[in-house]
Homo-oligomer: A and B are copies of this chain.
Amino acid sequence: MNKIILLKHRPSGKPTLEDFKFSEEEKPTPKDGEILLKTLYVSVDPYLRGRMRDEESYIPPFKLDQPLESSIIAEVIESKNSNFKKGEFVSGLLKWKEYQTAAGNGLNKVNKEAAPLTAYLGVLGLTGITAYLGLKKIGDLKGGETLLVSGAAGAVGSVVGQIGKIMGCNLVGIAGSDEKIERIKEKFGFDDGINYKTANDMKKAIGAACPKGVDVYFDNVGGEILDAAMANINKFGRVINCGAISLYNEEKKPVGPRHEGTLIKKSVLMQGFTIMDYVKDFGPAINQLSTWLKDGKLTYSETIVEGFENIPQAFLDLFEGKNKGKMIVKV
């Protein structure tokens, strides 16, 4: 039998284990043109919370009583498709199933020799590409500028910081524990860090850490930290709205200070970044990230949880900040 995980309820507020349902189905058999995949590594990501809502977005919502899906590394264990061979590894948006068949479109082969398989879910996957293209397409980051990053110890934030370092920027990261702040400074090259859970006044804390103001703010969290960043933004500042994890579990429309006055006074740009708008740029992005990884300019953290049955809990733990870097479940 094949274990699968379905969406049982649409969460209200913070998701719980009750929102997921474990089930079994018969192990599938590939038809002509298909391959049989064995799930090896499952990426859990904050944006999945959005797909649990029944609302239109850049990607369709999950359906009730249907399997969830996310980025997965899988092994081809049987092939009836001449483009794939048994023993090859692929990455792609796949279902939360131990085994599944696929026609092959939308899957990318990954090379186990070039980098560890899990890197293709992180620094060489959607999170690394998000960091690179967000900075490039919206941030227009230049050497010598001050780059502020929230969620700096997270999968995206830690790559954003390292790219900022490669580009010669002054780097300040925001994260939720002193231990994370230490890590981003030691491991990812941040010049300074702010623990938002212990800072009394985030506006002042950012001002102190960024004495020349903030030129580019890479925002993974939204909410009050965005407000504090906006209070320190420079003329011609750019805000990359990449994530808003602080709001994802809110059921009411969240309220905060209006930013239009600052946008006008400081000629600031704010733009939402969604990686799926830039699919044609993935190739060059992965090439650049691979080169940096090979050259030792890029490093990464990951938290690997073991066991297919722990996928939902690993997802929930994201909202508690329990992960260091990319959260991955090894099946």
Which residues of A are at the interface with B, using a C-beta cutoff of 8 A?
A: 50, 57-58, 219, 222-223, 226, 235-236, 241-244, 247, 253-274, 277
Chain B residues with CB under 8 Å of A219's CB are 260
Q: Are B263 and A271 in contact (CB under 8 A)?
A: yes
Residue pair B270, A269 in contact (C-beta under 8 Å): yes
Q: Are A270 and B271 in contact (CB-based, < 8 A)? A: yes
- Determine whether the beta carbon of A257 is less than 8 Å from that of B266: no
A263/B241 in contact, CB under 8 A: yes
Name the 4 nearest CB pairs between A and B, nearest first: A263-B272, A264-B272, A222-B260, A269-B271
**Contacting residues, chain B, for A277 (C-beta < 8 A):** 236, 267
B272 touches A265 (CB 8 A): yes
Chain B residue nearest in CB terms to A271 = B269
How many angstroms between the C-alpha atoms of A264 and B242 in the bound complex?
A: 6
Instruction: Tell me the bound Cα distance from A264 to B253 in angstroms.
Output: 15
- Complex CA gap A116/B166 in Å reads 56
Check A241/B260 contact, CB under 8 A, given A267-B272, A270-B271, A272-B268.
yes
- Check if A266 sits within 8 Å of B258, measured CB to CB: no
In Å, the complex CA distance between A255 and B256 comes to 5
A73 CB, nearest partner CB in chain B, Å: 26
Cα A258 to Cα B13 with chains together (Å)? 17
Question: Are A258 and B261 CB-contacts (below 8 A) given A269-B271, A270-B270, A277-B267?
Answer: no
Shortest A276–chain B CB gap in Å is 9
Q: Which residues on B sit within 8 Å (CB–CB) of A256?
A: 255-256, 258
A247: nearest chain-B partner, CB-CB: B261
Contacts A263-B271, A267-B277 known; list 8 others, CB within 8 Å: A58-B267, A222-B260, A241-B264, A244-B264, A255-B257, A264-B274, A267-B272, A270-B270
A-B contact pairs, 11 of them (CB 8 A): A223-B258, A244-B258, A247-B261, A253-B257, A255-B255, A259-B259, A266-B272, A267-B273, A267-B277, A269-B271, A271-B271
In the assembly, what is the distance between CA of A274 and CA of B273, in Å?
24
Q: Is the CB of A258 within 8 A of B255?
A: yes
Closest to A224 in B: B258
Whether the pair B254, A254 counts as a contact (CB closer than 8 A) is: no
Q: In whole angstroms, how far apart are the Cα atoms of A108 and B198 in the complex? A: 55
A82: min CB distance to chain B, Å: 37
Q: Is the CB of B263 within 8 A of A270?
A: yes
Q: Indicate which residue in B243, B257, B267 contacts A264 across the interface (CB closer than 8 Å).
A: B243
Kindly list chain B residues whose C-beta atoms are within 8 Å of the C-beta of A257: 253-255
A154 to chain B, nearest CB (A): 16
Residues of B within 8 A of A263 (CB): 241, 270-272
Partner of A226, one of B57, B253, B260, B271: B260
